[in-house]
Amino acid sequence: MLHKNCKMKKRLTRKRGISPLIATVLLTGFTVTAVALIIVWGKAFTGETAEKQEAMTNARLSCENIEYTVTNAKFSGGKLILGLKNKGQQSMDSFVFKLIFPDKAEPIETNNVIGPLDEDQVDIESPELTQKPDKVSIIPKVKVAAGVYLPCTNQERTVMGSKIA
């Protein structure tokens, strides 16, 4: 029995784990790889965030350059027709119209584009448009990216119902 214990001890002393040097090299390699991956991801993330913020800032500045007037407003047969004249150097790429009635308000979005120094007529049709609205609020939008528009709420104009023919 004593002889078996000696053999077991010899076997256990022969079976060692990896050397401390190899363990240190492996751990250092793993750490360097993890840090490199985090740095690459961080650069991509911050770059993407900066690009989005730049686009939004440019769009906000574009909103400051919008200048327009309502040339006419007419309600006829369930359709509201608004004439808009762009007096600025910035195109208006979309609009939100808030039709305000005595008992409700209805927002309607259109994709009409009015270029710089251009004039156009916007037709607003809706099943809810059965009567002339008390007033209409107009909010232009500028394009930030494909399918993304920023409303220029600081450029909101209101047409009172009494001005709608």
Helix (H) or strand (E) holding 83: strand 79-86
Percent of the chain topping pLDDT 90: 25
**In this structure, what token pair is assigned to residue 42?**
């961080």
Residue 115 CA, chain-centre distance (Å), reads 22
pLDDT at site 60: 76
Does the predicted TM-score (pTM) go above 0.75?
no
| Angle at 70 (CA atoms; ends 80, 128), nearest 5 degrees | 20
Over residues 45-54, the pLDDT tens digits come to: 887 777 777 7
Q: In degrees rounded to 5, what are phi and psi of residue 118?
A: -115, 165
| Pair 119, 85: CB distance under 8 Å | yes
